[in-house]
Amino acid sequence: MRVLAAMSGGVDSAVAAARAVDAGHDVVGVHMALSRTPAQERTGSRGCCSIEDASDARRAADVLGIPYYVWDMSERFEATVVADFLREYAAGRTPNPCVRCNEHVKFAALLDKALALGFDAVCTGHYARVVEGADGVRELHRAADAAKDQSYVLAVMGPARLARAIFPLGDVASKSQVRAEAVARGLSVAAKPDSYDICFVADGDTSGFLRRALGEQPGEIVDEAGAVLGTHDGAYAYTVGQRRGLALGRPAPDGRPRYVLSVEPVQRRVVVGPAQALDVAHVRGDAAVWFTGVPADGAACTVQVRAHGADLPARVVCADDTSVTVDVAGAGLRGVAPGQSLVLYDGSRVVGQATVASTRAAADLADAGAGGHA
């Protein structure tokens, strides 16, 4: 099988490519240049797509004895990931750029180009497993290493893309095993630190990045009753559940911390309140992607709303081809923001994914019940 190996310059993608070679595939390595300023250097484990990363990927390909190319995908990345990131924050939502990158770049632009060139599949260093069911349908499952599992950010790819994807690291027990394998193979990236945070915000200052791109948009920070507690330079710099950085001059009457409850960009207003007001009972998601059909109303599942968040028990309230609502009452889910990715699981298997559109607070349901309403 002809396989295109996406090589970021890190240890995971290098070992994944090596395993694809060992499996007998005809492998070609490709580094995606996503940054419009590729001359920038990484700062520790921050940043991406630097000349250093491209060089590391090339050296790994040389060790493996496979052809290697650099493909410029910076325009696509800027238009679909960075622009979406800015647009979502400006709208008071909290996007996940890794999900959008997998959706629009790695398993859309890259895969489409690979197929057009005659490749059969794309291989990446993601930690997830592909399991073929008894009916021959490929299923996306959590990785063997729960600490590194990336099925959450891959769930947006859908079944058609999954059919053309290879994840050789899905069965490894730990990241240390991958690094040891890299050493044994003579790969110089064996000890290279993992990248983290938002790859295109190399200095880690997301608020500063948003301010430079969107400009200052001063407004008020208010409590649930509308009383003004402070001011801000841009509501886009806040997200639901945030506690730090509020700089409020007036403490809460009970002395407890306040958290961001909602962001209202049109009014340029940030609403804050107590932690219990963040408790969520229902989550509704749009733009749903299903792997093995729409789940039945009332079906039991587990859900995850953050890349490294807990896997929580839930029940499907209603679902169709484009949306889903889940009941998470009693699961301890708190602080869910519109724009986050909602992923449904059946055990380790990914059932589907949707983008959070709205939530309903546990307190609202309690009040409705007390008033005799459903």
pLDDT tens digits, one per residue of 206-224: 999 999 999 999 999 999 9
Residue 268 has pLDDT above 60, yes or no: yes
Q: 156, 103 in Cβ contact below 8 A? A: yes
Catalytic residue set: 101, 199
- What is the structure's pLDDT at 372? 41
Nearest to 176 by CA among 195, 191, 197, 189: 191
Mean pLDDT along residues 7-11: 95
Residue 374 above 80 pLDDT?
A: no
Strand order in the sheet with 219-222: 228-232, 219-222, 269-273, 259-264
| Strands 2-6 and 121-123, sheet pairing | parallel
**Residue 52's pLDDT is what?**
86
- At 366 the pLDDT is 53
For residue 358, the model assigns a pLDDT of: 96
Q: Mean pLDDT in the chain?
A: 91
169-191: pLDDT as tens digits: 999 999 999 999 999 999 999 99
Overall pTM > 0.85? yes
C-alpha to C-alpha distance for 328 and 317, rounded to whole angstroms = 10
Domains annotated for the chain, with CATH where assigned, are 2-191 (3.40.50.620), 218-277 (2.30.30), 279-370 (2.40.30.10)
Q: What is the pLDDT of residue 41?
A: 46
The string of pLDDT tens digits covering residues 29-88 is: 999 998 866 545 445 444 556 778 999 999 999 999 999 999 999 999 999 999 999 999
- Whether 365 shows a pLDDT value over 90: the answer reads no
Instruction: Output the six-digit token pair for 97.
Output: 């750029």
373: confidence class by pLDDT, cuts 50, 70, 90? very low
Q: How far apart are CA 97 and CA 48, in angstroms?
A: 13
